[in-house]
Amino acid sequence: MATVTPAPPSTVPRSQPPGPASSRLARVRRSLLRPKTLIVAGVAAVIGYLALVPLYYLLYGTFFDADGFTLGAFGRVYSADGIGTLIGNSLWFAFGSALLSLVVGTTLAYLNVRTDVPFKPLFFAASMIPLIIPGILYTIAWIFLASPDIGLLNAFLEPLVGPAFFDIFTIWGMIWVEGLHLSPIVFLLMVAAFRSMDPSLEESALMSGASRWTTFRKITAPLVRPAIVASILVMTVRSLESFEVPALLGLQNGIYVFTSQIYFTLRSYPPDLAGAGALALGLLAIAVVGVILSNRVGKDSKNFQTVTGKGFRPRPIDLGRFRPVAGVLIILYFVATVVAPLAVLIYTSLLRFYVAPSAEAFRTMTLDNYRALAELSQAGTALKNSLILGIGSATLVMLFMSVAAWIVVRSKIPGRGLVDHAAFVPLVIPGLVLGLGISFVYLRSPIPIYGTLFILLIAYCTRYMPYGMRYAITSMHQISAELEESAHVSGASWWQTFRRVLLPLLSPGLIAGFIYILTVSFRELSSSILLYSPGNEVLSILIFEQFENGSFTVLAALGVVMVLTLVVLVTVAYKVGAKVGLRQD
Amino acid sequence: MLTIDNLVKTFEADKKTRSQAKSAKANGEALEQTRVFAVDDVSFEVQQGEMFTLLGPSGCGKTTTLRSIAGLEKPDSGRISVGDRVMFHAGDGTSTVNMPANERGLGMVFQSYAIWPHMSVFDNVGFPLQVRKRSQRPGKAEIAERVNRVLEVMELGHLATRQATKLSGGQQQRLALARAIVTQPPLLLLDEPLSNLDAKLRESLRFELKRLQRELGITSIYVTHDQVEALALSSHIAVMRQGKVVQLGKPREIYTNPRSRFVAEFIGTSNFINGRVAGHDGDCVTVDTTEGRLRVRSAVALPVGSEAIVSIRPEAVEISLTGSGGTEPNEWTGEVVNRAFLGDSVDHVVKVGKAEVRNRSNPNVSIEPGTTVYLRMNPDQLSLVPVD
């Protein structure tokens, strides 16, 4: 605003404007040209565009054909044979995975927070896994472990229980892999819930004469019930939206769920776009119901605040003779979620062709797969594309969301609530549905980005906007309004205040968000699979292609490279974050 | 210097009050209650070089008034001007003037100090100079010189390169002050700047603040709810209540001549005796109370027969074991019911008839509860306030 407004503060009073009408016009024009107005309006417009346009086109593409409005696609899809099985499979898979992840995650969280269980450091290593091992690699690792033909576990157990004891290509296998992959997220949610609970609530129950088990049943469980219900809803929605597991495990035996059916519909020839849209809308509807329910639970849970605010260090419960049992369970869990998948990937990446481990296999181990990878031009391109997209979308999202968070938290601009809601819309949209929506937009729009990296960038920015918003809003809330006001009173314009005071203070939160988006964008598959075109594959797509080609050993090498890249990126980002963040000590 | 005319600021009432007002409207009742008056028609003037204090309990509108002067709140109507510059003017048909906070060129110290934690001490103080428009921005060397000069005055010179968060509470307070005065603003706004400090530090910084303000001659507006602070620092005090200025005057005037029961109660402690005006006698008023007749020297002219309250400061009550035999005016007899040793003084609570009167004496006086005593009250030290 410094460029337009006249009259430096310390000189004569402002000259009176010529007349009320013209001065109002001049004022409106002046305020419209301020950088603040331009930036704020621009950010709000971009958020609205990203969040709402794909949905609009999805609806349009599903309900309108050349002749106008039609319910044809809906009728066709939802009266087809096997639609009942499809919905049944989807719900079974989703609830089953959610339940498994809940049981595993909650047990581990309780053991970790409230008991003297051994091997506590392992918990946090295990909880980083969904960030470090992408879903597609995790699924493939489990195929290596438990497929009826080539599964290592089956090979090990054959002398004991006969051939093909485990079959990962069943709905149970799908639930196992998805549930296990989701369990660290439940673990983190429940650790937070148990930590925020005042242990004196439990202690007073014990003092009243209740046994440990009664205390858990009557006090602990009811107090964390909101967190449990919220977790199960969130995990159900996430499993519904999951694409990797149903596509890699389910398609083998024709077990279809919504996501794999949408993918299948688009892959068949001719692709039934409107039919896929109708399925996508069905999936979206279920996801929306789940998210609304979990929000309602979240709201209710505020009624019994368990946080007391004072620092406390709960006395861990003595497990007694169950301590070794719990220890063995922890080790088993760690092996199942971390060691086995990573080990099998590394092992496979060193083989010429996939065989069960034997002296022969270890003797003929080679680095040929990595050499092949280096010569595979696609691999370099995919790594580059993944880096460009990850860094690009993380940077863009965090910059835009820092302004958006200011609009929502600090400004008094009318309609700021809409910006907030719009930024959270993509959270409800399954990745595959979003990919479909975006492809509908740019197939029809004159903007020539279909089949380029840009369309993927748009998809990633849209998908990760809600996460960026959450990080930015949280850190904005932590900055006292007075820090901003004092800059303003000191004479700084809006932009100077934003750049010199807010951005540096927000930076720890923005960097945390950046790291998160960077890592999750690396594992992104479900949107990319509908939007990529040959030549601009990303790492996860390339792995998917290699899987379809059956070149497992190269794929494993690629997976190892991908995991290492992620480890390096996360480490570097944390180091940088610690440097530019607030110096605290 | 600073002139404020008829300042009004309202806030939207909360949801409950709003829905109540809505139903009231449906019933055809008055609909004024949808907005809450934070500042209700406030006017005052501050002279060059003054330390002007806005004093009142929380929620009285003092901070809103200060933030309106700073430009951080937009009032509904009224006029704010500093010198001959109009900062805000709205509400009487002319086009609205509302200068943004960053163009007003004022200095402000926030309650939390609002020290930017990512900058050094030097950068915090230099910021107001660095963000000036290019045409008015001093050169790098001049900025450094001016910042260092202010830091010297504040005795922070040796800490210039230190990270701002590594200062003690008192140092942070001085840093916030240094930042506020580095541009030599015409007006300095202070929003409860001492409330975050412990009692000892607060006392020493209070005198420090007064010395600096005098030496630098900066016109200041000081907001506080602490009456001791206000009395010690100010050249003028405006006591606020429910968005209105209820009394404005010099500290001594306000303490000795509170014009309402609220002011007498809020500033210091007071005994309140209800009575009825019996007659005037020169500049003295005679008041009949249930406990006896009191003579009060008062500028407030209440008509004979009207109800009134006599406000008696505890230190204006003299306690004695012997009576004067009726030669002194305003002498009451009573029984000591309670005694408290406060270190630098002793309080006695004396029951006179149905009323209890608190006395404050020097710590050498100590009378057993149960003793009959004589209380003498100098008419010059009593004040008459109207019934609310």
Instruction: Give the span between the Cα atoms of B294 and B377, in whole angstroms.
Output: 9
pLDDT above 70 covers a percentage of chain B that reads 94
Top CATH class of B269-386 equals mainly beta
Best to test chain B binding among A1, A16, A489 (most B CBs inside 10 Å): A489
A489–B133 CB contact, under 8 Å? no
Taking the Cβ of residue A579 and every Cβ of chain B, the question of whether any pair is shorter than 8 Å is answered with: no
pLDDT for the residue numbered A458: 93
- Residue A394 has φ and ψ, to the nearest 5°, of -65, -45
Compute CA distances B276 → A153, B273, B311, B351, whole Å: 101, 10, 13, 21
B102–A23 CB contact, under 8 Å? no
Q: Is the peptide bond before A270 cis (omega within 30 degrees of 0)?
A: yes
List B residues 189-208 in contact with A (Cβ-Cβ < 8 A). Answer: 189
Mean pLDDT for the stretch of residues B1-23 = 78
What are the tens digits of pLDDT across the range A13-57? 444 444 455 666 666 666 666 778 888 889 999 999 998 999 998
pLDDT for the residue numbered A306: 44
State the smallest CA–CA distance between residue B217 and chain A in angstroms.
18
Instruction: Give the span between the Cα atoms of A292 and A298, in whole angstroms.
Output: 10
Whether B116 has a pLDDT exceeding 80, the answer reads yes
Contact (CB, 8 A) for A140 and A146:
no
Compute CA distances A449 → A452, A526, B150, whole Å: 5, 19, 57
B117–A23 CB contact, under 8 Å? no
pLDDT band at B243, cuts 50/70/90? Answer: very high
> Nearest to residue A425, comparing CAs of A399, A462, A377, A388?
A462
pLDDT for the residue numbered B207: 86
Name the residue facing A491 among B72, B84, B105 (closest C-beta). Answer: B105
Buried/exposed code over A561-579 (b: 16+ C-beta within 10 A; e: otherwise): bbbebbeebbeebeeebee
B183–A1 CB contact, under 8 Å? no
Mean pLDDT for the stretch of residues A291-303 = 69
Whether A202 has a pLDDT exceeding 80, the answer reads no
B240 is written with which tokens? 């606020």
A496–B71 CB contact, under 8 Å? no
Tell me the chain A residues in contact with residue B187 when contact means C-beta distances shorter than 8 Å. none
Whether B282 has a pLDDT exceeding 90, the answer reads no
B133–A487 CB contact, under 8 Å? no
pLDDT for the residue numbered A24: 65
What are the tens digits of pLDDT across the range A55-86? 998 888 888 877 778 787 788 888 878 888 99
Tell me the chain B residues in contact with residue A9 when contact means C-beta distances shorter than 8 Å. 85, 103-105
Cα angle value B92/B94/B96 (rounded, 5°) = 95
Name the residue facing B95 among A9, A12, A17 (closest C-beta). Answer: A17
Place of tokens 């979620």: A337
> Nearest to residue A385, comparing CAs of A574, A579, A214, A528?
A528
Contact (CB, 8 A) for B46 and B2:
yes
pLDDT for the residue numbered A92: 94
> Nearest to residue B337, comparing CAs of B376, B284, B375, B300?
B375
Taking the Cβ of residue A485 and every Cβ of chain B, the question of whether any pair is shorter than 8 Å is answered with: yes
Taking the Cβ of residue A414 and every Cβ of chain B, the question of whether any pair is shorter than 8 Å is answered with: no
Taking the Cβ of residue B137 and every Cβ of chain A, the question of whether any pair is shorter than 8 Å is answered with: no
Q: Please name the residue of chain B whose CA is at the shortest distance from the CA of residue A19.
A: B95
Contact (CB, 8 A) for A314 and A114:
yes
pLDDT for the residue numbered A13: 41
What are the tens digits of pLDDT across the range B21-76? 666 666 655 545 567 888 999 999 999 999 999 999 988 999 999 999 998 888 99
Name the residue facing A24 among B95, B117, B127 (closest C-beta). Answer: B95
Whether A98 has a pLDDT exceeding 70, the answer reads yes
Q: At what angle do helices A539-549 and A377-409 cross, to 10 degrees?
A: 140
pLDDT band at A579, cuts 50/70/90? Answer: low
- Residue B222 has φ and ψ, to the nearest 5°, of -120, 125
Name the residue facing B117 among A14, A490, A582 (closest C-beta). Answer: A582
Name the residue facing A490 among B86, B136, B179 (closest C-beta). Answer: B179
Whether A324 has a pLDDT exceeding 80, the answer reads yes
Whether A416 has a pLDDT exceeding 60, the answer reads yes
Best to test chain A binding among B102, B179, B187 (most A CBs inside 10 Å): B102
Whether B17 has a pLDDT exceeding 70, the answer reads no
Contact (CB, 8 A) for A480 and B112:
yes
Q: What is the DSSP string of A445-457?
A: SS---TTSHHHHH
B127–A10 CB contact, under 8 Å? no
Contact (CB, 8 A) for B63 and B69:
no
A111 is written with which tokens? 């053991």
What are the tens digits of pLDDT across the range A237-265? 889 989 999 999 988 888 999 999 888 88
State the smallest CA–CA distance between residue A484 and chain B in angstroms.
8
Best to test chain B binding among A1, A28, A490, A500 (most B CBs inside 10 Å): A490
pLDDT for the residue numbered A397: 95
pLDDT for the residue numbered A571: 77
pLDDT for the residue numbered B21: 64
Mean pLDDT of chain A: 82
Instruction: Give the span between the Cα atoms of B348 and A179, in whole angstroms.
Output: 75
pLDDT band at B360, cuts 50/70/90? Answer: very high
What are the tens digits of pLDDT across the range A164-193? 778 889 999 999 999 999 998 888 888 888
By DSSP bridging, strand B372-377 and strand B97-98 are unpaired
Question: Biggest alpha carbon distance in chain B?
Answer: 80
Q: Among A117-131, A535-549, B150-164, B267-281, name the one with the lowest average pLDDT.
A: A117-131
Cα angle value A227/A233/A235 (rounded, 5°) = 95
pLDDT above 70 covers a percentage of chain A that reads 87
What are the tens digits of pLDDT across the range A476-508? 888 888 899 999 999 999 999 999 999 998 988
Taking the Cβ of residue B133 and every Cβ of chain A, the question of whether any pair is shorter than 8 Å is answered with: yes
Distance of CA A283 to the CA centre of its chain: 18
A480–B179 CB contact, under 8 Å? no
Taking the Cβ of residue B161 and every Cβ of chain A, the question of whether any pair is shorter than 8 Å is answered with: no
Instruction: Give the span between the Cα atoms of A584 and A568, in whole angstroms.
Output: 25
State the smallest CA–CA distance between residue A507 and chain B in angstroms.
10
3-state secondary structure of B166: helix
Neighbouring C-alpha atoms within 13 Å toward the C-beta of A228: 16
3-state secondary structure of A429: coil
Listed in sequence order, the DSSP H helices in chain B are: 15-26, 62-70, 101-104, 121-130, 140-153, 169-181, 199-216, 227-233, 251-256, 261-266
Taking the Cβ of residue B342 and every Cβ of chain A, the question of whether any pair is shorter than 8 Å is answered with: no
Cα angle value A20/A22/A24 (rounded, 5°) = 65
> Nearest to residue A58, comparing CAs of A282, A290, A256, A288?
A282
Report the predicted TM-score, pTM, of the whole model to 2 decimal places: 0.77
The full set of domain ranges for chain B reads 2-106+185-256, 269-386
H-helix or E-strand containing A264?
A: helix A258-267
B86–A20 CB contact, under 8 Å? no
What are the tens digits of pLDDT across the range A329-381? 889 888 888 888 899 999 999 988 877 777 778 888 888 888 888 888 888 88
Instruction: Give the span between the Cα atoms of B322 and B319, in whole angstroms.
Output: 9
Whether A388 has a pLDDT exceeding 50, the answer reads yes
Neighbours of A146 (CB within 10 A): 23
Instruction: Give the span between the Cα atoms of A244 and A248, in whole angstroms.
Output: 6
Q: What is the DSSP string of A404-415?
A: HHHHHHT---TT
A142 is written with which tokens? 């489990």
One-letter identity of residue B357? V
Taking the Cβ of residue B232 and every Cβ of chain A, the question of whether any pair is shorter than 8 Å is answered with: no
B229 is written with which tokens? 């602070």
Neighbours of A387 (CB within 10 A): 17
Instruction: Give the span between the Cα atoms of B251 and B347, in whole angstroms.
Output: 24
Query: Domain B2-106+185-256 belongs to what topology?
Result: Rossmann fold (3.40.50)
Name the residue facing B131 among A20, A482, A491 (closest C-beta). Answer: A491
What lies within 8 Å, CB to CB, of A333 at 6+ separation is: A104, A108, A126
Give A451-458 contacts, CB < 8 A, sequence gap 24+. A451/A533, A451/A536, A452/A533, A452/A536, A453/A385, A453/A388, A453/A389, A453/A536, A455/A531, A456/A385, A456/A389, A456/A527, A456/A528, A456/A531, A456/A532, A456/A536, A456/A538, A457/A389, A457/A392, A457/A393, A457/A396, A458/A50
B183–A491 CB contact, under 8 Å? yes
Place of tokens 């005098």: B214
Taking the Cβ of residue A501 and every Cβ of chain B, the question of whether any pair is shorter than 8 Å is answered with: yes
A505–B117 CB contact, under 8 Å? yes
3-state secondary structure of A567: helix
**Residue B70 burial by CB count (10 A; 0-12/13-18/19+): exposed, middle or buried?**
buried
B165 is written with which tokens? 């968060």
State the smallest CA–CA distance between residue A504 and chain B in angstroms.
7
Taking the Cβ of residue A1 and every Cβ of chain B, the question of whether any pair is shorter than 8 Å is answered with: yes
Taking the Cβ of residue B102 and every Cβ of chain A, the question of whether any pair is shorter than 8 Å is answered with: yes
Higher pLDDT, B366 or A299: B366
Neighbours of B165 (CB within 10 A): 15
A482–B112 CB contact, under 8 Å? yes
Place of tokens 């903007």: A447
A428 is written with which tokens? 């409800």
pLDDT for the residue numbered A301: 54
pLDDT for the residue numbered A8: 39
By DSSP bridging, strand B271-281 and strand B284-289 are antiparallel
Tell me the chain B residues in contact with residue A24 when contact means C-beta distances shorter than 8 Å. 95
A8–B133 CB contact, under 8 Å? yes
Name the residue facing B85 among A13, A505, A583 (closest C-beta). Answer: A13
One-letter identity of residue A320? G
Instruction: Give the span between the Cα atoms of B212 and B199, in whole angstroms.
Output: 20
Name the residue facing B118 among A9, A488, A582 (closest C-beta). Answer: A582
pLDDT band at A550, cuts 50/70/90? Answer: confident
pLDDT for the residue numbered B16: 65
pLDDT for the residue numbered A28: 66
A489–B72 CB contact, under 8 Å? yes
Mean pLDDT for the stretch of residues A386-394 = 93
Higher pLDDT, B24 or B310: B310
pLDDT band at B346, cuts 50/70/90? Answer: very high
Taking the Cβ of residue A486 and every Cβ of chain B, the question of whether any pair is shorter than 8 Å is answered with: yes
